[in-house]
Structure 1
Amino acid sequence: MATSMIPVTILTGFLGSGKTTLLKRILNEKHGMKIAVIENEFGEENIDNEILVQDSTEQIIQMSNGCICCTIRGDLARVLGDLAQQKRDGKLDFERVVIETTGLANPGPVAQTFFMDNEIADEFLLDAIITLVDAKHGNHQLDEHEVVQRQVGFADRLFITKADLVDEKELADLRHRVLHMNPKAQIRQVNFGEADIKEVFDLRGFNLNAKLEIDPDFLAEDDHDHDHDHAHDHDHGHDHADCDHDHGQCSHEGHDHGHHHHHAHHDDKIKSFVYRSDRPFDPNRLEDFLGGILQIYGERLLRYKGVLYMKGVDRKVVFQGVHQMMGSDLAAKWLPIEKKNSKMVFIGIELPQDLITDGLDACLA
């Protein structure tokens, strides 16, 4: 991968979730970065009225702190290509790009731009999708708008905003809910856009590497259900894939299991499940099966990622994708002390979990 590739962060979240507040903060802070911001023109509040050097004739606007801002009036790929060309020609100077989507946008097609268009893929590196969720209205918005569920499902990192407006129980309910939609996104609380720059940039969420972060709470709760056989007042719908791993590895100090029993039932279309196995995959069978799954369910698969133990391969195989677009790569060698296993997470809309799990089982060597 060329070191000169320009990292891109996609900022998404429903209307009023705080995207513009966060963006203003990023653009005003003295971090010394030169950032190009691409705004969807449907933005509920344009940022340029306060902090941009006004020049309404230009599509690309120079900002007072050295950043630049442009509005999409057309195709994202064309705007990115234009920015890259101007950078090559020495007309614009920027190190990274932030794309703020409209609050009603599904981030999937934006993410796909970086895989579908070869010119874009050569110049830009999709770093991460960050989704903002409003603590006060988040549960209601998740109930009412599938696009909000999609925004959560695509995220590499979730920022919960306006947490000061709700009590601890409401906040715990919301965290629990989004965690079960997307256990691989790290969840952070941010007040008034005050996220550390390190929490926003260089997250490497789309990197093909051997790290697959799955929030331990996601698994700890599921284990908790098996161990204590409590009647939960809602159905996770994805427990059996996690049963065969070592329960001990998920326990962590200070985790209060008791508070999980008052969560309301949310029948979210977007759910996730984790698949694990200590047995190696047969590479050919797995490739055929995943190819078929992507063909049939690709549109319903939002994000998926895995670190795989393959028969006859002494290195970890990592894969991840968005919809039908999947990439895979060889990662580091398995260390002698490591327990070889496969771990995969699937996030999607009404996915047939049993069918996928059984199909993956059938691909084991």
Structure 2
Amino acid sequence: MTTKIPVTVLTGFLGSGKTTLLNRILTENHGQRIAVIENEFGEIGVDQDLVINADEEIFEMNNGCICCTVRGDLIRILGSLARRKDRFDRIVLETTGMADPGPVAQTFFVDDEIRDEFYLDGIITLVDARHVTQHLDDSEEAQAQIAFADRIVLNKIDLVDPSTQRSLNNRLLGLNRMAEIIPAEMAAVALDKVLDVGGFDLNRALETNPAFLEPEYPFEWGGIYDLEPGSYRLELSQGPDPEMSAILVPLPDKNESGEKDLQVIAETIFRYFSQAAKSLQDGEHMSPGTTLWELQLEQQTEFSFPVDIAAAGYYALFTQHTPEEFSASLKDSAGQTVKTAAEHFFNAGHIHDDTVSSIAFEFSGSLDAEKLNAWMSVLLQTQGTDLFRMKGILSIDGDDRRVVFQGVHMLLDSQPGAPWNNEPRNNRLVFIGRNLNRDYLQGGLKQCMV
């Protein structure tokens, strides 16, 4: 019998202390070999540089929460690790602070290959005692992170008074009465409280979300067609988006024609959707197969994509949005609409707050410490409430070491990092918050250059 590898998920809203806890796990003398998976929200990754003294392998997934899109990266990384499982004893996965951990947990239950090799040992949610109340009322992700937790680390209790801590405990219990709440400063918790938890509580997850085992997908609809050889056309009108991803795959079994078959092959189709799509213009052929097509729907109102069917059989069409949104239909050579033999509407990926964004900068040279501190002071005074998280690696003039820079709302911290030695000096910063202005941030940083 194959021994499954335990996976611990560290989650929590921006700046709650996930990387600090991860560093504690990696530097403790526990004798375990750990593979680390980092998921970042932003254009460039800096979290790998914030993980210190780690001989373990670090895999990064950038630019999004682990949900319908980035879950494909997670599956590919776990698949790669499964082939090298003799090199490590467990996996620690640190999610972005903007992630709902539900889709991460789903992966270990709905994907057969992953389920055979790994098991979800537990979800550990870190909570920033100083700032969490600013996000609980308006962030579904922050609420979900607490609701799905097996353990809650109430971090930074040294920054609040005992009355505030008691109030927070009661509020957290209101969201999740089954999880143990562990108070901590600087994420200092006993490892046996966060590792070897004993298994993710699936029953609680189903109580929180009855549709938990139906994954979020990057497609909203699938239909099965019984097609004879010949020429067809997928016709669409303009919809809410200027593009529509779609894939048409032949089904190997002539008997596969029911709605349940669409659900069975959904994970396979998901893997195709997680790959790069090929752009297709009006009038270009959309051939059946494993290619994901990104249909371009701009500059006119009606669109038609020819489809040539060489062999009779059942074919499944999966679309990013529902056909109704784009008046989409499959037509035969006579212009008649081909009816589906079966169809299924899938649980679509969740919607994020469009006002929250990540802005990243990467540039060479060094920054003047006094100018940077003065600009940061003004930035925090004017936009501190909207700046959820700041982090990065800085090159400060006169300092031969990297400066590890982190901030949460009005709080800033910097620590010396590894020496530059002969490596080119550069800066990488990420700002995450609401209604951020890229030009303003870029101009301010430019003024701080030596």
TM-score, length-normalised on structure 1? 0.52
**Offset, 1:127:** 0.7
Amino acid aligned to 2:213: M
Cα deviations across residues 171-193 of structure 1 (Å, max 9, x unaligned)? 11111011011101110012112
Question: d(CA) in 1 for partners of 2:206 and 2:20?
Answer: 27
Alignment correspondent of 1:304: 207
Q: Kindly state the Cα deviation for residue 207 of structure 1 after the two structures are TM-superposed.
A: 6.1
- Tell me which of 108, 115, 124 is aligned to 1:130: 124
Counterparts of 2:48 and 2:22 in 1: how far apart (Å)?
Answer: 11
- Name the counterpart of 2:111: 117
The answer to whether the 8 A contact 1:34-1:66 is kept is no
Deviations 1:137-158 (A, max 9, x none): 1122111212101111111110
Question: C-alpha distance in 2, partners of 1:147/1:104?
Answer: 6
Q: Is the 8 A contact 1:37 1:69 kept in 2?
A: yes
Judge conservation of contact 1:11–1:100 (CA < 8 Å) in 2: yes
Q: Do structure 1's residue 15 and structure 2's residue 9 form an aligned pair?
A: no
State the alpha-carbon separation in 1 of the partners of residues 54 and 27 from structure 2.
Answer: 7
Structure 2: how far apart are the matches of 1:36 and 1:159? 22
Equivalent position amino acid for 2:149 in 1: A
The 5 A counterparts of 1:260-339 are 302-304=205-207, 323-325=211-213
**Is residue 58 of structure 2 the alignment partner of residue 69 of structure 1?**
yes
Matches within 5 A, 1:30-41: 30-41=29-40
1:322–1:124 Cα change, 3 Å: farther
Residue correspondence of structure 1 range 234-245 to structure 2 within 5 A:
none
Residue of structure 2 in register with 1:163 after alignment: 157
Gaps of 5+ in 2: 63-69, 215-450
Matched position secondary structure for 2:137:
helix
Give the Cα separation in 1 of the matches to 2:51 and 2:140: 33
Alignment correspondent of 2:46: 46
Question: Is the 1:112–1:322 contact (alpha carbons within 8 Å) kept by the matching residues of 2?
Answer: no
Inter-partner Cα distance in structure 1 for 2:175 and 2:50? 36
2: CA distance, partners of 1:42 / 1:29: 27
Matched residue, 2:181:
187
Q: Secondary structure at the match of 2:168?
A: helix
Structure with the largest fraction of helix? 1
User: Once the two structures are aligned, what percentage of the paired residues are identical?
Assistant: 48
Q: State the SS of the aligned residue for 1:106.
A: coil
Change (3 A) 1:51 1:149: closer
Query: Is the alpha carbon distance of 1:118 and 1:184 closer, same or farther for their aligned partners in structure 2, counting shifts above 3 Å?
Result: same
Distance 1:13 1:50 in 2: 17
Distance 1:86 1:193 in 2: 30
Q: Residue 193 of structure 2 corresponds to which residue in structure 1?
A: 199
1:85 to 80, 83, 86: 83
Q: Verify the 8 A CA contact 2:125 2:146 in the aligned structure 1.
A: yes
1:322 offset after TM fit, Å?
6.8
Change beyond 3 A, Cα 1:303–1:154: farther
CA distance in 2, matches of 1:50, 1:135: 22
AA aligned opposite 2:211: H
Deviation at 1:118, TM superposition (A): 0.3
**CA deviation after TM superposition for structure 1 residue 324, in Å:** 3.8
- Cα distance in 1 for partners of 2:176, 2:121 equals 18
Q: Give the Cα separation in 2 of the matches to 1:322 and 1:83.
A: 31
Q: 1:50 to 1:99 in 2, by over 3 A?
A: closer
CA contact (8 A) 1:154 1:303 kept: no
Give the structure 1 partner of residue 24 of structure 2: 25
> Which one has the largest radius of gyration?
2
User: How far apart are the structure 2 equivalents of 1:172 and 1:144?
Assistant: 22
Hey, what does 1:60 align to over in structure 2? none
CA shift in 2, pair 1:151/1:12, >3 Å: same
Q: CA deviation at 1:24?
A: 1.0
SS of 2:154's equivalent in the other structure is strand
Shift in Å, 1:35: 0.6
For these two proteins, the number of residue pairs brought into alignment is: 204
Which residue identity lines up with residue 151 of structure 2 in the other structure? R
Higher mean alpha-carbon deviation, 198-207 vs 17-26, is at 198-207
Residues 298-341 of structure 1: CA deviation (Å, up to 9, x unaligned): xxx94439xxxxxxxxxxxxxxx873439xxxxxxxxxxxxxxx
- 8 Å contact kept, 2:122–2:199: yes
Contact 2:127-2:154 at 8 Å conserved across structures: yes
Corresponding residue SS for 2:83: helix
